[in-house]
Amino acid sequence: MLKIPDLHTHSTASDGTLTPTALLERAAAAGVETLALTDHDTVAGIAEARTAAARVGVRLIAGVEVSVTWGGRTVHIVGLGVDTDCRALLAGLASLEEYRLWRAEEIGRRLAQAGYDGALEGARGHAAGTLIGRTHFARFLVERGAAADIRDVFKRFLVSGKPGHVPGEWTTLEEAVGWIRAAGGLAVIAHPARYDFTRTKMRRLLGEFRDCGGRGLEVVSGSHSRDDYFVFARHATEQGLYASAGSDYHGPEKPWIELGRLPALPDGCTPIWTAHGFGGAARLAAA
Ligand code: AMP
Ligand code: MN
Ligand code: MN
Ligand code: MN
Residue ranges of the chain assigned to CATH 1.10.150.650:
98-158
73-80 and 59-70 strand pairing? antiparallel
Flag whether pLDDT at 179 surpasses 90: yes
Which whole number is the average pLDDT over 239-251? 97
- Residue owning the nearest CA to atom 18 of ligand 1: 151
CATH entry, 98-158, from 3.40.250.10, 1.10.150.650, 3.40.50.1580, 3.40.1370.10:
1.10.150.650
Which whole number is the average pLDDT over 30-54? 98
Residue ranges of the chain assigned to CATH 3.20.20.140:
6-93+173-286
Q: HEC states along the chain? A: CCCCCECCECCCCCCCCCCHHHHHHHHHHCCCCEEEECCECCCCCHHHHHHHHHHHCCEEEEEEEEEEEECCEEEEEEEECCCCCCHHHHHHHHHHHHHHHHHHHHHHHHHHHCCCCCHHHHHHHHCCCCCCCHHHHHHHHHHCCCCCCHHHHHHHHHCCCCCCCCCCCCECHHHHHHHHHHCCCEEEECCHHHHCCCHHHHHHHHHHHHHCCCCEEEEEECCCCHHHHHHHHHHHHHHCCEEEEECCECCCCCCCCCCCCCCCCCCCCCEHHHCCCCCCHHHCCCC
Flag whether pLDDT at 259 surpasses 60: yes
Closest atom of ligand 1 relative to the 15 alpha carbon: 12
Closest atom of ligand 1 relative to the 133 alpha carbon: 3
Rounded CA separation 285/108 (Å) = 39
Q: How far is the CA of 256 from the centre of ligand 2 (A)?
A: 10
Closest atom of ligand 1 relative to the 255 alpha carbon: 21
The pLDDT confidence band at residue 196, using thresholds 50, 70 and 90, is very high
How does pLDDT run across 79-124, given as a tens digit for each residue?
Answer: 999 999 999 999 999 999 999 999 999 999 999 999 999 999 999 9
Give the ligand whose atoms come closest to the C-alpha of residue 158: 1
Predicted structure pTM score: 0.96
Class of domain 6-93+173-286: alpha beta
How does pLDDT run across 44-84, given as a tens digit for each residue?
Answer: 999 999 999 999 999 999 999 999 999 999 999 999 999 99
Mean pLDDT of the chain: 94
Give residue 2's pLDDT.
58
